[in-house]
Amino acid sequence: MADEWVMQLQRLNGRLSGELSDERLGDRTQRRETLRQIGELRPLNRLNGEALAGRFEDRLLVGVDGTINSFGSHFPYYVDFLRALAKPSRGEGISLKDIHCPLPPEDEAEAEIALRNDNEVRQRKLANLEVQAALAAIDAYRPAVILMDGPLVRFDMRTKESFSILREKVIQENILLAGCIENIESKVIASVMGDALPSGWRNRYDRDLLWRVLDYGEVLEVARPAKGTARQGQDADTATRIRTWFMQSSREPGVVGLDLLEEQAAAGVSWLADYLFTISPADGRGIPIWLDLVDREVRLTHAELEAYVQLLDPQVRRVFASKRDARFF
């Protein structure tokens, strides 16, 4: 008897291979031609020596990343440890911490809603914490560049108020703000080009459209913003607008995204793409090494988590302890 999974996977293949086939996108040369319609496709420059030395003068680079570690796993019996780190290239850095716990539920109905939304709640808290860390880093260091881990639109959507403050502040203080996106989940090309796209291209993900199209060391500098929304009561002119560029900054197939504020991107920041390419390991994931360093530092080790959990009263801790931990295998 045939394996149910085998049959289902075969059906899935049939369904998707037509939809996702490269043939519908044209050959590589044609695809590159199409991409040139939405922006400049250029080789990235690996900076060295003088070009590097003069770039930051005495100002700093700040990388911002956040992390969530949980104790307990079943809603609502868990405590989340949130931490955001803004790590400057010189100095201690800004580390902000928060705790999130859905307990105690107000009533049954509310618990039901929270169950569906609680992940979003903590993601908002984390996004806010990261933006707060970035803001604090501006006051403390007035860096030249702030690199956020993940798309800027994530902050624009999840913590709109504080992100607006950050946006205004960086523009005012002439600090470049950028977001590095390792896993692109956007449809920037589709939304910028709209109906101008060939029929096979419409409504497809950027990741899909760009797969193996750029050479190593190339960037697609998209010329128009595609993301961003207005605040409540804000008119469209002052709304956040974000431009996304795509870089093939490592030898791995698949591009990474670079989110820039429209105001800053329009002023010409090609050097930033060159610089980030320069500090991205060729054999890595394609994101700048600085974010790897921040990521390594912000992460909470199991031992640290255990140490903090000991601060909970035993009867409280018992509530969160999961039977999973006592499994034999």
Please, which residue, 144 or 192, has the CB nearer to other proteins? 144
Report in angstroms how near the CB of residue 141 gets to other proteins at its nearest.
12
Please, which residue, 9 or 307, has the CB nearer to other proteins? 307
Alpha-carbon distance 323 to 311, whole Å? 20
Placement of tokens 């791995």 in the chain: 252
- Does residue 155 bind other proteins (CB under 8 A)? no
- Does residue 195 bind other proteins (CB under 8 A)? no
Residue 204, Cβ density class (10 Å: 0-12 exposed, 13-18 middle, ≥19 buried): middle
Pick the stretch among 30-38, 53-61, 97-105, 127-135 that binds other proteins (CB under 8 A): 53-61
- Does residue 293 bind other proteins (CB under 8 A)? yes
Given a contact cutoff of 8 angstroms between Cβ atoms, the answer to whether 33 and 115 are in contact is no
Report the C-alpha dihedral over residues 21, 25, 30, 31, rounded to 10 degrees: -100
Site string for other proteins, 237-276 (x = CB under 8 A): --------------------------------------x-
- Does residue 49 bind other proteins (CB under 8 A)? yes
- Does residue 12 bind other proteins (CB under 8 A)? no
List Cα–Cα distances, 329 to 70, 72, 326, in angstroms.
21, 18, 9
- Does residue 283 bind other proteins (CB under 8 A)? yes
Placement of tokens 């080790």 in the chain: 301
- Does residue 85 bind other proteins (CB under 8 A)? no
Alpha-carbon distance 288 to 273, whole Å? 10
Report in angstroms how near the CB of residue 32 gets to other proteins at its nearest.
27
Q: Residue 91 CB: number of other CB atoms within 10 A? A: 13
Alpha-carbon distance 257 to 290, whole Å? 16
Report in angstroms how near the CB of residue 280 gets to other proteins at its nearest.
7
Name the DSSP class of 59. -
- Does residue 90 bind other proteins (CB under 8 A)? yes
Contact set with other proteins (CB under 8 A):
47-49, 52-53, 55-56, 60-61, 89-90, 275, 278-284, 289-290, 292-293, 296
